[in-house]
Amino acid sequence: EDVRRWHPNQEWIWAPGGFGVFDPGINALSIATHILPPMFITSAVLDFPENRAAPVAAHVIFRTSNGLPVTMELDWLQTGPQSWDILAETDKGKMVLSGGGAKLAVDGKVVHDEPETEYPMLYKRFAEIVRAGASDVDLAPLQHVADAFMLGKRNVVEAFFD
């Protein structure tokens, strides 16, 4: 996604602990950790602008507990049409989740195509768990982000300015 379009002048996102490009990437990790066997980072390259403490791009390679490779490419400098696509290919077929989760195709056949409702659904869920005094936390995506920061090769790239 284009960080200048979706997060203009949001300095916190570039600060230590601000996640950088992993802010949108954690959504993909939430889906991956829900549908895949446990997976672990085997390598990562993180592109840090020379004037920022968080990455603007990342290439992360995982391996699942049963040996399958998983690759994640994140780029916050995308211009033009925006994409938040998740592609999965298994022995049972190919899945493409696109449009920020609004469209799902399995083996080339669209099985879901509705307006994007991520944030309204998220806020509804927040209200439900607050009313119930409950908690609904999945730490696996955060663990993967932390692992990428700890294990990843830091690549310094040109400075970033909004």
> What does the pLDDT look like over 60-101, one tens digit per residue?
999 999 999 999 999 999 888 877 788 888 888 999 988 877
Distance (Å, whole) CA 87 – CA 48: 25
Residue 116 has pLDDT above 80, yes or no: no
Amino acid at 69: P
pLDDT at 122: 87
How distant, in Å, are the alpha carbons of 27, 51, 57, 130 from that of 45? 19, 18, 8, 38
| pLDDT band per the 50, 70, 90 thresholds, residue 141 | very high
Instruction: Enter the DSSP assignment of 80.
Output: S
Position 115 scores a pLDDT of 82
Asked whether the beta carbons of 30 and 156 are under 8 A apart, the reply is no
Q: What is the pLDDT of residues 10-34, one digit of tens each?
A: 999 999 999 999 998 998 899 889 9
Which pTM does this prediction carry?
A: 0.85
Domains, in order of start, for the chain: 3-157 (3.30.360.10)
Question: CA–CA distance from 31 to each of 46, 48, 97, 128, 153 (Å)?
Answer: 21, 25, 10, 21, 25
